[in-house]
Amino acid sequence: MHTDRRTLLQAAAALPLATVGASSAFAQAPAATPAAAPPKDVTRALAHYLVTATYEDLPANVRKEGVRTLLNWVGVAIGGSHHETVDIAVSALGPFSGPQQASLFGRRERFDILNAAFINGVSSHIFDYDDTHLKTIIHPAGPVASAILALSEMQPVSGKEFLNALVLGVETECRIGNSVYPNHYDVGWHITGTAGVFGSAAAVGKLLKLNEQQMTWALGLAASQPVGLRESFGSMNKSFNPGRAASSGIFAAILASKNFTSSDAMIEAKRGWANTISTKQDYNEILGDLGKRYEAALNTYKPFACGIVMHPAIDAAIQLRNESKVTADQIERVDLKVHPLVLELTGKKTPGQGLEGKFSIYHAVAVAIVEGAGGEKQFSDRAVTDPTIVALRGKVNPVITPGIKPEQVDLTIVLKDGRKLNRYIEHAIGSVEKPMTDKQLETKFSDLADGIIPTAMVRRVMDACWNVEGLASAADITRMSVAS
């Protein structure tokens, strides 16, 4: 007999929290300090929440952010669908794909749901233009939306069911990400892949109507499939990670639906996911205020198609360019006061291709000043080899500065005539504090979809996303988003 939801969640909130770091295998713990008892039932308590949470439980603001997450994701998935990376994936996997069960956004090919989810996940991330949970730098929609939209073409899924699963998936991966960030990320894991697989498994499991035990196993099987290392940044491999997280989550949920077992404590056990891949474990971030505090409500959307830590600098550079009509030939140098993470993540001085430019603060500032924008065209192979931009990026001087936060920048353009133009950014456009408006999201969507799906369909797809809760079949969105 199952414990009722409220009782179990109250018990879960009282679980002992663990913040014990992993130590060297040769280190000896002090004899006088007994090891803390490991927490219990984290995985199962999360599973219980997932199988009992309903669409009606979602607050209005969370539903709205879920809809915005969907709209933004569909736009970037269509926009990236003809990048060379996606062409290669389609060509490589086509001969091995199973039944043509699901569509590829912006394309005509159909694949089995595992490969369709993978390719759509790659497509949505290749421009680095997708949504971002700023507390963890997770890109939540890729692993989740890719998976459940593919599944929606195989079985009936209403719009309300879909939105509930999307929010629950995003909530799951962001909470699990919170529990290990930043330590997990700092050692080199790409958290979108490692946490994203939980989001995919949770969302697919919800649509498959797993029971509590099966959902516990699905989360356990997801824990066995962490994917993604930060060394991949700047290559096609980076977009592999959310794509693989999407397909791996489907894999986990489908196996669990047939009672393929796992440990019931795969997240929290001594040799489970959190302890194995991070020196920080804060399980209250997973279970605290479940159903009350929503990480999914904190999702943000990129106005610039590159690493999020560069957005403040791009915002500042564009503002100064537009206000003072600055041109590259007038500039002596550009000084930036930045957080250490900016150079750690985006310190490529001489990017040779567009994907590398997405992780070059030097290129980002230079192209923002020269072209007054930071969209996908500004991070193309063309842009990173443009002589004017190349010359200017050699004058960009980022300096790690105490007191500057990752979301801030203090940028000064020093002109050859001695003038100095300064802009301090506390919160860039696209942040939680300065979110993109619905209209700005539509403009971004239209720009990305232009020339890929028929012009007449762009408005229809956006309307379907905005009105997903009223759709009889969520798969309508995918079917409208393919090339003519």
In DSSP notation, 122-184 reads HHHHTTS-S-EETTTTB--HHHHHHHHHHHHTTS---HHHHHHHHHHHHHHHHHHHHHHTTHH
* Calpha distance 424→337 (Å, rounded): 9
pLDDT of the residue at 484: 78
DSSP 360: B
pLDDT of the residue at 36: 54
Q: What is the pLDDT of residues 430-463, one digit of tens each?
A: 999 999 999 999 999 999 999 999 999 999 999 9
pLDDT of the residue at 25: 29
Give the DSSP letter string of 438-459: HHHHHHHHHHHHTTTS-HHHHH
Give the DSSP letter string of 248-288: HHHHHHHHHHTT----TTTTTSTTSHHHHH-S---THHHHT
* Calpha distance 38→35 (Å, rounded): 9
Q: What is the pLDDT of residues 242-280, one digit of tens each?
A: 999 999 999 999 999 999 999 999 999 999 999 999 999
| CA dihedral sign, ordered 301, 302, 307, 309 | negative
pLDDT of the residue at 37: 59
pTM, to two decimals: 0.90
* Calpha distance 329→400 (Å, rounded): 26
pLDDT of the residue at 442: 98
pLDDT of the residue at 40: 85
What tokens appear for 83 in the block?
A: 């990048």
Mean per-residue pLDDT of the chain: 93
Instruction: Compute the radius of gyration of the chain from its Cα atoms.
Output: 23
Residue 451: CB atoms within 10 Å: 11
CA distances (Å), origin 83, targets 46, 230, 378, 396, 452: 37, 21, 15, 29, 11
pLDDT, one tens digit for every residue, the chain (484 residues): 344 444 433 443 343 333 333 332 223 333 433 445 567 899 999 999 999 999 999 999 999 999 999 999 999 999 999 999 999 999 999 999 999 999 999 999 999 999 999 999 999 999 999 999 999 999 999 999 999 999 999 999 999 999 999 999 999 999 999 999 999 999 999 999 999 999 999 999 999 999 999 999 999 999 999 999 999 999 999 999 999 999 999 999 999 999 999 999 999 999 999 999 999 999 999 999 999 999 999 999 999 999 999 999 999 999 999 999 999 999 999 999 999 999 999 999 999 999 999 999 999 999 999 999 999 999 999 999 999 999 999 999 999 999 999 999 999 999 999 999 999 999 999 999 999 999 999 999 999 999 999 999 999 999 999 999 999 999 999 999 999 7
What tokens appear for 406 in the block?
A: 């990752």
Chain-centroid distance, C-alpha 206: 20
